[in-house]
């Protein structure tokens, strides 16, 4: 087999493997697999018509459905921090998909965010983005620090603290 034929065979094999990989990832939901870079994305769902009044297409009344992606390094307490951040933005989680691969985590959250009008909706989305970014930045700060265990007190010290 000459070099050109070998190269052609390798290219064909790589294309087959690529097709198999994309077919396999299609069933998993490729948006859930964590990437290599840290990211926070918050977008509004356009197909949440059940939250609007009939005939009202321009204004938000009550909760608005929002999708948020957070991709970062996995760490202890990450899910608690995400939950705390969502609650601090006055949002209610509806659905969550979380995947962890190789020390990286991607959380895809569907949230109901309360808003009164279009301006309130924009503020709610930007606030959600800000609180999720703070979780990401807190995680980066925690990774930089040395791991410190929770301090233990002797019975004498515990009596002094109370």
* Domain parsing of the chain, residue ranges: 32-144
114: Cβ–Cβ under 8 A, 6 or more apart, which residues?
62, 63, 64, 90, 91, 124
Longest alpha-carbon distance in the chain? 83
DSSP string, 88-157: HTTEEEEEEEEEEETTEEEEEEEEEEEESSHHHHHHHHHHHHHHHHHHHHHHHHHHHSPP-PPP---HHH
Q: Could you give the angle at which helices 118-144 and 78-88 cross, rounded to 10 degrees?
A: 150
User: By the 8 A CB rule, do 89 and 63 touch?
Assistant: no
Residue 127 clears pLDDT 80, i.e. is over it: yes
Q: What is the DSSP letter of 51?
A: G
3-state secondary structure at position 59: coil
More confident residue, 139 or 61: 139
Residue 13 clears pLDDT 50, i.e. is over it: yes
CATH number of 32-144: 3.30.70.260
Residue 96 phi/psi, 5° resolution? Answer: -145, 135
3-state secondary structure at position 162: coil
**pLDDT by residue (tens digit) across 58-80?**
455 566 888 998 999 998 888 89
pTM of the model: 0.59
């Amino acid at each position: 087999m000459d070099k050109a034929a070998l190269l052609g065979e390798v290219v064909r094999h790589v294309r087959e493997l690529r097709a198999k990989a994309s077919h396999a990832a299609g069933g998993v939901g490729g948006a859930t697999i964590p990437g290599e870079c840290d990211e926070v994305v918050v977008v509004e769902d356009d197909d949440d018509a059940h939250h609007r009044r009939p005939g009202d297409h321009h204004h938000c009344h009550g909760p608005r459905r929002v999708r948020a992606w957070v991709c970062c390094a996995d760490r202890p307490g990450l899910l608690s921090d995400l939950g705390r951040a969502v609650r601090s933005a006055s949002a209610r989680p509806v659905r969550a998909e979380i995947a962890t691969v190789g020390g990286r985590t991607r959380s895809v959250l569907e949230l109901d965010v309360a808003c009164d009008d279009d301006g309130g909706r924009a503020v709610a989305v930007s606030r959600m983005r800000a609180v999720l970014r703070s979780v990401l930045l807190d995680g980066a700060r925690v990774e930089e620090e040395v791991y410190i265990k929770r301090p233990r007190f002797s019975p004498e010290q515990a009596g002094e603290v109370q």
